Structure 1
Amino acid sequence: MRTPHALLATTVSAAALAAAVVAPAPVSAADAVPPPGTYYVQSAVTGLNAADRSGAVEQHRPRGDEDRQQWNLRADGTLESADSPGTCLGRTGDLARTVPCASPDARWEIGPAGADRFTLAVPGTGHRLTVAPKPSGANHPAPLAVGTGTGDLAGWYLTPADPVTRAAPPWERRTLDQVTFLTAHNAYANGVDGGFAPPFIDLFPNQNRGIDRQLADGVRGFMMDVHQTPDGAILCHNSCTLVRRPVALWVGLQRMVDFLRARPDQFVTVFLEDYVDPGVLRAELARVQGLSEVLYRPDRTGVRENGWPAMGELAAAGQRLLIFTDRSRAADRAAGLTRDTFGVMYQREWTVENHWSMGPGVGTSDWSCYSRWYDAGTNIPLTRTEPGFRPLFVMNHFRDAAVASTAGTDNAKLADRARRFCQPAARKKPTYLAVDRYDLGDPASAVTALNTYVLP
């Protein structure tokens, strides 16, 4: 059976593979105390990491081995800074601080809190390391506290900096969340099928090849903005008024359905940045011939209770096109028609996703990896899991503007960011690696490397 990336002529370096398979052993919920090793102390509420900031311990956006976020758990229950030997995560009064490791204020009693979570308690007291409660209309404060907090605020993941992995099973036995797919950001904005309003398509196309070529090259995830016009649902960005060659959504989807009908071993996912009324979207999908034959409905197959199916099961059932919308169920319910009734899944119910931009098209970049949906009104951490269900992880790796030289450089660093920053931040492998200009910097090699192993 050919894999979705069989058309990508890529080579995985021995160093990249070796970096993926290292100790310490993974933490399980049954462990009273995790084994000694290097960990991130990661909030169960926000997914952010405890970091040493000039002696104060704060929750920061995950930055891998940067920003003083790694802690060496020792057999005596102390957490020594990986950057400052002899300095440990501790407390001063009701504030988390770094203190000398020999200090009694550096000792913690680490105990299980369920669902692979732990509490860090002050020995002999009811006080624990906690995230401060969230003020109304704001995020949780950065400084970490030591107090009588209970529940999720006092729950922590001890995420191994370098988790043990195992070789990926054969393709047909891998579950959907064990696979990584090359994904094109603004896949339609390519100057071949359609694009932005001039002159932006000429200056900064997100992609350089049309949808048909993207499919042939092994792209299996497609991010597309869809707007409503008097003619229906159109693929465009911000405004459809000046697009030189507007493309109807159904035309783009028809290409994918035709591809899947000719290639019964393949799987494709579409992410809609969706500005269309649900009734209009339903009518647009009804124009796609053969869509019902390949549409995958995780809401009807027990995924939330039993986890994601294997790729072989999906192929055998013919269910090989998954469509997400970024719209909210609540808004659609108020309008009287929810999109999942005609097969479009609400993305926030099935995935987690990191922040969409690494910064401007040139200059400095932000490589931290944190939830796109962590703000004053929403809190869906990258670490979210449910009993029996692990959300798919959408890893965005692009900037505000798709400058070709920058995209090529960024894409060449994709595997490193995925391994050091985003995989530990989400405690799961990326399912979708979303990039601009997938033809530059060989992002397919990162996809191939990630598909060689699975996490526990």
Structure 2
Amino acid sequence: MLDMYDFGGDVWLCHSLQGQCYNFTAFEPAIDTLKEVEAFLSENPTEIVTIFIEDYVHAPMRLSKLFTAADLMKYWYPISEMPTSGQEWPTVTDMVAKNHRLLVFTSDASKESSEGIAYQWSYLLENESGDPGIDPSACPNRKESQPLNSRSASLFMQNYFPTIPVESEACKENSVGLPQMVQTCYAAAGNRIPNYIAVNFYMRSDGGGVFDVQDRINGLTLCGCNTIAACQVIVKT
């Protein structure tokens, strides 16, 4: 999840206000991070990366030129093959076989037709971020998203992080609150398992934390088991 802005005649990663990047909010040129993504995909030929762009880039074709400069187009998942109307996505095995291992989505609808970058709200459902997304009594959809129980989009992003992050609270949040919220959003989304989980301080927990939750989700998705390990065929000798 990257916030990208026009800044200094280039595209920069920046967390800012009102669509304007400033010297004191600019982080680094986006090309630096994208080159790290290219290195990861090159060194890990069975891995898949998804990038969600909060898009404040207005210069024409600047984003597509950026990904070309980072040598990432060879991994690009083309819009022409993206499932629409809630249809199922291909398996990881199929995506790896085609080398379609980079999914890129933008928050700017115009970029789909002008630059071939998928408009995320046509393919993705998402719950509200910040404090509304950590209240276990409800799981409201983000205002840009269709309702979570809609079947017109097949990917689901679950946000789970407070509006004001506090690192000292992350262990409890990721160990107790997150599993509860996954269950709440699972019900709100019509028994849909999230494809992505966005959290703060993902390494912090009082136990398995984010990794345990993701393991359980993957196990349920793959074989209906409680963990990925439980899906493995045990060969007796």
Give the TM-score normalised by structure 1: 0.44
The equivalent of 1:164 in structure 2 is none
Of 12, 15, 22, 1:237 maps to: 15
Question: Alignment identity in percent?
Answer: 27
Please give the alpha-carbon distance, in whole angstroms, between the structure 2 residues aligned to 1:339 and 1:313.
24
Q: Distance in 2 between matches of 1:274 and 1:266?
A: 25
8 Å CA contact 1:227–1:240 kept in 2: the answer is no
- Following superposition, the deviation at residue 286 of structure 1 comes to 2.4
1:411 maps to which of 152, 174, 181: 174
Asked whether the 8 Å contact 1:294–1:318 carries over to 2, the reply is yes
Q: Which residue of 2 aligns with 1:301?
A: 81
- Contact 1:326–1:346 (CA under 8 A) maintained in structure 2: yes
Unaligned runs of 5+ in 1: 1-222, 333-337
More helix by percentage:
2
What's the CA shift string for 1:169-206, capped at 9, x where partnerless? Answer: xxxxxxxxxxxxxxxxxxxxxxxxxxxxxxxxxxxxxx
Inter-partner Cα distance in structure 1 for 2:82 and 2:14: 35
| Cα 1:226–1:380 shift into 2, 3 Å | same
- Let me know the Cα RMSD of the aligned residues: 2.3
Show the counterpart of 1:401.
164
Q: Indicate the residue corresponding to 1:450 in structure 2.
A: 217
Which of 119, 122, 125 is the equivalent residue of 1:352? 125
Match of 1:264 in 2: 45
Q: How has the CA–CA distance of structure 1 residues 408 and 430 changed in structure 2, closer, same or farther, with 3 Å as cutoff?
A: same
Q: Pick from 148, 167, 175 the counterpart of residue 382 of structure 1.
A: 148
Distance between the aligned counterparts of 2:49 and 2:203, measured in 1? 19
Structure 1 SS opposite 2:213: helix
- Is 2:13–2:29's contact at 8 Å kept on the other side of the alignment? yes
Structure 2 residue aligned with 1:155? none
Report the TM-score when normalising by structure 2: 0.81
- Opposite residue 342 of structure 1, the aligned amino acid is E
Q: Is this contact kept in 2: 1:224–1:235, CA < 8 A?
A: yes
Match of 1:440 in 2: 204
Distance 2:212 2:82 in 1: 33
- Structure with the higher fraction of residues in strand conformation: 1
Give 2:69's aligned residue. 287
Q: Which amino acid aligns with 1:288?
A: A
Bigger Cα Rg = 1
Question: 1:189 maps to which residue?
Answer: none
Q: State the shift of 1:444 in Å.
A: 1.2
CA shift for structure 1 position 246:
2.8
Q: Per the alignment, in what secondary structure is the counterpart of residue 319 of structure 1?
A: coil
Deviations 1:125-156 (A, max 9, x none): xxxxxxxxxxxxxxxxxxxxxxxxxxxxxxxx
Match of 1:371 in 2: 141
- Residues 85-116 of structure 1, C-alpha deviation per residue, up to 9 Å, x if partnerless? xxxxxxxxxxxxxxxxxxxxxxxxxxxxxxxx
Structure-to-structure mapping, 1:61-210, within 5 angstroms: none
Q: Which amino acid aligns with 2:62?
A: V
Q: How far, CA to CA, are the matches of 2:53 and 2:220 in structure 1?
A: 29
Asked whether the 8 Å contact 2:49–2:103 carries over to 1, the reply is yes
CA contact (8 A) 2:61 2:114 kept: no
Kept in 1, the 8 Å contact 2:132–2:139? The answer is no
What is the aligned residue count? 211
5+ residue gaps, structure 2, are 225-237
